[in-house]
Amino acid sequence: VALGQKLSALVSERWFRVPMRLQYERVYRPFLLLHVNRYAGKAMETESDAARDAPGQGGSLLIKGIRAIWRQSAPIVANVLQGAVQRIVMQEDVQAAVSFAEGEIRRLLLGKVELSELVMTG
């Protein structure tokens, strides 16, 4: 975070003219790049986020451009994808993501899913 802030100030000072300046926003760690403009990551915007950079601590989950998270898919799809990504990115636990997805698939196969979770509304 501190390095990003220093770099944005240095680049602004050296290559940009007033009133333009490069502004630091956030660092992603870990970062999942699925495709251009489709990604997910643990966003760390402040020094306190970076100081707590351990699985399950600090930062916030940020998901951009992944259509299954939007309203264009059934709620169960969005919930499973968001739950799996949350476990991979925030907890850094791929096995927990796999177990979560398997549990949701099992729930679907056993008929324990509410009909409303299967209906696409968008």
| Euclidean distance between CA atoms 114 and 119, whole angstroms | 10
pLDDT at residue 76 tops 70: yes
Q: In the chain, helix, strand, coil percent, each to 5?
A: 45, 20, 35
Q: What is the pLDDT of residues 17-71, one digit of tens each?
A: 889 999 889 999 999 999 999 999 999 988 887 788 778 788 899 999 987 777 7
DSSP 87-106: HHHTS--HHHHHHHHHHHHH
How high is the pLDDT of residue 122?
67
Is CATH 1.10.132 correct for 2-11+19-118?
A: yes
How high is the pLDDT of residue 106?
98
Q: Where are the domains of the chain?
A: 2-11+19-118
pLDDT at residue 83 tops 90: yes
Q: Region 104-118: what's the mean pLDDT?
A: 97
* Beta strands, E only, 1-122: 27-35, 38-44, 60-64
Q: Region 75-99: what's the mean pLDDT?
A: 95
The model's pTM is 0.79
User: Are 42 and 59 within 8 A, CB to CB?
Assistant: yes
How high is the pLDDT of residue 72?
79
Which structure tokens are listed for 76?
A: 């169960």
pLDDT at residue 110 tops 90: yes
Q: Is the link from the previous residue into 19 a cis peptide, with omega within 30 of 0?
A: yes
